[in-house]
Amino acid sequence: MHIPGMAGIRRWGTAVPGTDPGCKKTAGKIPGKEEQEMRTVYIRVQEAYMTATEKFHIKDKIAVITGGAGLLGRKHAEAVIEGGGIPVLLDISKAAIEKTKTALQAAYGDDCMVLGYACDITERSDVEKTANDLSERYGHVDVLINNAANNPKMEGSAANMKALRFEDFPASMWLEDLAVGLTGAFLCAQVYGGLMAGQGSGVILNISSDLGIIAPDQRIYRREGLAEEEQSVKPVTYSVIKHGLIGLTKYLATYYADKGVRANALCPAGVFNGQDEEFVGKLTNLIPMGRMADAGEYKSTVLYMISDASSYMTGSTVIVDGGRTCW
């Protein structure tokens, strides 16, 4: 892509500081104010001359993904790779990160760059360590995808099922779930949002859910022949967290609007992952399209929301649910 008038802006040579991971000018150090401002100008001029298709490209952009070793976390990483970016997986399990990195490199080639950090996102100091390391290595971080959440256990012993019911839901579990799903997103947005605000550009994408828009229909979890206290329910924390992420998104969008940082929320619906036939049948009856989502169906939407293709969108909630929330 030829951009008129860029010779003066690219006065450092073949790479503008902070725009190229291989740029020797910024390797191993955090760019100063002048370099950050020049990077912002360079990006803005680039955007002005991009075609609609080119705006989906995120070449060499650093994208941090919390819960990066999970099912959707891996799919978000695939979206980043396919857009030309570099995914950075944050997860509590180092072993799970390595497994996901291996799978991604097997799918996209050994030269595919995937980074990973074992990180407890409920601890700000842990999050800061990852941000500092990325800043020192690359000089910029461009995307934060807040995806991490505790996985609610919807089956088990009668005692476990009873504990999930609202009347018996333990306060300790409430605090633990909110710490990962909401406090973790808050802390990552504090650290990485501040970093992106300092560099004058960036995107925060919070992964909510269709259950951040509507309440769970507890009827689809019921089983014939089980006593009431043995019936499975969707835990209260799931809905609270997913609604909370939408509120956090709107706050971040207005707070960072004048700093060049956008914030949006994605609300995916249920992903098919081998659930039993009875549950799938009940859920798909609630979806106009008559099926659950495939795990990879959200990738294009994620790429749109973290790229310049959505450059005028902030504070928005995008629902991809097969039409479920229409009913």
Instruction: Tell me: pLDDT of 217 over 80.
Output: yes
Which are the contacts of 82, defined by CB distance < 8 A and separation ≥ 6? 299, 303
3-state secondary structure of 118: strand
Which are the contacts of 276, defined by CB distance < 8 A and separation ≥ 6? none
Cβ count within 10 A of residue 206: 27
Task: Give the Cα separation of 252 and 300 in Å (integer).
Answer: 23
Encoded tokens for 1: 């892509």
pLDDT band for 151, please (50, 70, 90 cuts): confident
Please say whether the beta carbons of 67 and 44 come within 8 A. no
Instruction: Tell me: pLDDT of 109 over 80.
Output: yes
Task: Give the Cα separation of 129 and 119 in Å (integer).
Answer: 9
- Compute the 3-state secondary structure of the chain and give helix, strand, coil in percent, each to the nearest 5: 50, 10, 40
**pTM, 2 dp:** 0.86
Tokens 């099926």 found at: 291
Its sign, for the CA torsion 119, 121, 123, 126, is positive
Q: Which of 47-61, 65-79, 206-220 has the lowest mean pLDDT?
A: 47-61
Encoded tokens for 213: 């828009």
Alpha helices (H) along the chain: 6-9, 33-48, 71-82, 94-108, 124-138, 158-164, 171-178, 184-199, 236-255, 277-284, 299-306
Tell me the pLDDT of the chain averaged across its residues: 89
Tokens 């509590």 found at: 92
Domains of the chain: 1-19+26-49 (no CATH), 59-326 (3.40.50.720)
Which residue, 180, 320, 178, is CA-closest to 240? 178
Buried-exposed string 69-87: b where 16+ CB fall within 10 A, e elsewhere: bbebbbbbbbbbbebebbb
3-state secondary structure of 300: helix
Q: What is the DSSP letter of 123?
A: S
Question: pLDDT tens for residues 242-278?
Answer: 999 999 999 999 999 999 999 999 999 999 999 999 9
Q: Which of 8-12, 169-173, 255-259, 314-318 has the lowest mean pLDDT?
A: 8-12
Instruction: Tell me: pLDDT of 28 over 80.
Output: no
Please say whether the beta carbons of 47 and 61 come within 8 A. no
CB burial of residue 65 (10 Å; 0-12, 13-18, 19+): buried
Which are the contacts of 257, defined by CB distance < 8 A and separation ≥ 6? 314
Task: Give the Cα separation of 288 and 3 in Å (integer).
Answer: 46
Q: Residue type at 161?
A: M
pLDDT band for 36, please (50, 70, 90 cuts): low
